[in-house]
Every structure is written in C-alpha cells, then in structure tokens.
Amino acid sequence: MASDMLQMVVNMLRAQRDATPQIVDPLVLRAGMESMTGLMPLAPDVTHEPTVVGGVRAEWVAAPDAHEDRVVLYLHGGAYVMGSINTHRDLAGRISRASGARVLNVDYRLAPEHPHPAAVEDSTAVYRWLIGEGYDAADLAVAGDSAGGGLTVATLVALRDQKQPLPAAGVCLSPWVDLEGVGESMTTKADVDPMVQREHLVMMAKHYLADHPPRTPLAAPLYADLSGLPPLYVQVGTAETLLDDSVRLAERARKAGVDVTLEQWDDMIHVFQAFAPMLPEGQQAIDRIGEYLRARWA
C-alpha cells in the first residue's frame, strides 16, 4: 500500500496543473519547473561543483565518501524543453549517496532553440570526455528520468554506433521513448496521472523533433536497434501514462538480447523518485538504484 504522503503529492501536482492548464510557452514552463527547485533542497553534506566538460555545461554532485573514480552521468527530465542541473540537483545527490559514486549532472541543450539531435550530441560528448580523461567504462553508468530516461537509451545506442566502450549499466526512471504517445497507458492511466497527458507530450515532441519524423531512432529510442547495449534498469509507476513506454522498451530490449530489469511500482506517479524529500517510496526506489549500480560495479 502506498504511503499517506502520496496523496498529498498528487493533490499538489493536480492543483498546479489546474492552475496553469493552457501554458505552452517553453520559457514559461522552464520558469515554473525552476521555481519548484526550492521544494527539493540539497542535503547540506552533498557538494556540487559547476564545470564544463566536452564543451557542455554540467556539475559534479557528490555525497560524502563517493568513490572518486565511479561516475553516474545523469540526464535530467523535462520533455527536452525544460529542466536543468538546478531542478535535478537533489535527485542527483541522492543517487550519489545511494550508489557511492559521483554524479555528473548534465545541462544539455534544450528545444525548441536546440532541437534533436542536440541533446544526444551533448550527452555523448560528455561521455567521451569521461573516457578521454581516463575513466574506466566499467566504472561508469548513464541514468536519466522521463525525457532524460529516453535520452539515456539514445545515448547508449549512439555510443555503441560510435564504437565507444559502453558503461556498466543504463538506468531509466519513467523513460519517455515513444514521441507519438501511442502506448495503451496513455489512455488507460490518463485519469490517475496528475502530471503527464498525451496532448502535452505531443506538443513537447514537436518542439524537440523539429523536422525529424517522430520515430527517428535517436529521438524515440523505442524504435532504435537496441542490440549490444549494456544492462538496463528501468523503474516506472503504475499510475502514469508513460507506463507502457517502459514496458515496451523492456520487451524490445530483451528481444534484442539486453539484460533488462523492469520494476513497476504500485500506485506511483511519473518520476516519483524526484519527490523523495516528501515521498518514502521515492527514497526506497533511489536506494534500489544504488543497490543495482553497486552490484554492477562489484
């Protein structure tokens, strides 16, 4: 049974959605998402250090005792048009603590100013920088939520095609991998999802795709060749419209021979891990991510 705090989070999100139902301007959406950062303050013992790597803005986020040579390259969510290292700093810090690794929180370029493939270019540039600096691929992981979860898969596909050494694992939290929104859960979960609806997703997808077809593999990695990818760990809530993105991604990856772990968390909403300061299940899921990564690195 879900914790009592879940309904409080759901009510908060519904109230915010109902108060601003018609906002479509990416700049306004970004400002709104940034304003929520204060609700998720960084733990005082977690450090964050701005940097530029591979020509891309990023920051190092590290909990005490984080292993210096183990890195989680983190790709934030926000439908490719919003979100930043600010909005996901607390989540990055919690992943650092759980995994015992430093997190490189990446501020990849956003659409519509920088449509596809800008995000993939930035994420792969950062990974190649890590390899060029001497980090062992076996000590790396790529992770992300929502659009960042889809970008995680696209990054792994692009790195494979570039003949780069692949990381120990990819971690996807409620990944957005189908930019057309044709999964059955887009309809069946619409009434219970307080955050994500198909109409809004399709609009964001147009910003990101620009002139690219909606099934372009590195934009919608559900349609990519997934063979040869490292193990994938996928977490998703059963009360979100993007549930079937995760289910279909796991099915296609398994058929391609990829080692996939899919966890469906009962009654949880989109990227519930981001609400860990309020939601016990969010922290429990992050702890599971840490366990998974530590096992892969072991």
Phi-psi region of 22 (alpha: psi -120 to 50; beta: other; left: phi over 0): alpha
Backbone angles phi, psi at 52, to 5 degrees: -130, 120
In angstroms, what is the C-alpha Rg of the chain?
17
Residue 222 pLDDT class (50, 70, 90 cuts)? very high
Give 265-278 pLDDT, tens digit per residue: 999 999 999 999 99
Task: With H, G, I as helix, E, B as strand and everything else as coil, classify residue 38.
Answer: helix
Specify whether 270 is catalytic. yes
Residue 23 has pLDDT above 80, yes or no: no
- Predicted confidence at residue 59, as pLDDT, reads 98
Active-site entry in 88, 240, 246, 281: 240
Which amino acid, residue 46? V
- Predicted confidence at residue 1, as pLDDT, reads 63
- Predicted confidence at residue 17, as pLDDT, reads 78
Residue 24 pLDDT class (50, 70, 90 cuts)? confident
Residue 20 has pLDDT above 80, yes or no: no
Beta strand 67-75 pairing with 101-106: parallel
As a whole number, mean pLDDT of residues 24-48 equals: 86
Backbone angles phi, psi at 72, to 5 degrees: -105, 115
Q: Are 218 and 117 in contact (CB under 8 A)?
A: yes
Specify whether 240 is catalytic. yes
Q: What is the CA 13 to chain-centroid distance, rounded?
A: 19
- Reduced 3-state DSSP string for 261-274: EEEEECCCCCCHHH
Percentage, residues of the chain above pLDDT 70: 98
As a whole number, mean pLDDT of residues 238-259 equals: 98
Residue 38 has pLDDT above 80, yes or no: no
d(Cα 81, Cα 12) in Å, to the nearest integer?
Answer: 22
Average pLDDT, the chain: 95
Specify whether 113 is catalytic. no
Backbone angles phi, psi at 75, to 5 degrees: -120, 110
CA distances (Å), origin 233, targets 103, 177, 237: 17, 15, 14
Active-site entry in 146, 174, 185, 246: 146
Q: Are 189 and 216 in contact (CB under 8 A)?
A: no
Residue 122 pLDDT class (50, 70, 90 cuts)? very high
Residue 37 has pLDDT above 90, yes or no: no
**Mind listing the domains of the chain with CATH numbers?**
5-297 (3.40.50.1820)
Alpha helix locations (H) across the chain? 5-19, 26-35, 89-99, 118-132, 147-161, 185-188, 198-209, 243-255, 280-297
d(Cα 198, Cα 190) in Å, to the nearest integer?
Answer: 8
**Of 8, 105, 9, 122, whose CA–CA distance to 58 is shortest?**
105
Active-site entry in 88, 116, 200, 270: 270
- Predicted confidence at residue 22, as pLDDT, reads 64
- Predicted confidence at residue 21, as pLDDT, reads 63
Residue 19 has pLDDT above 80, yes or no: no
- Residue 231: DSSP 8-state: P
Residue 254 has pLDDT above 70, yes or no: yes
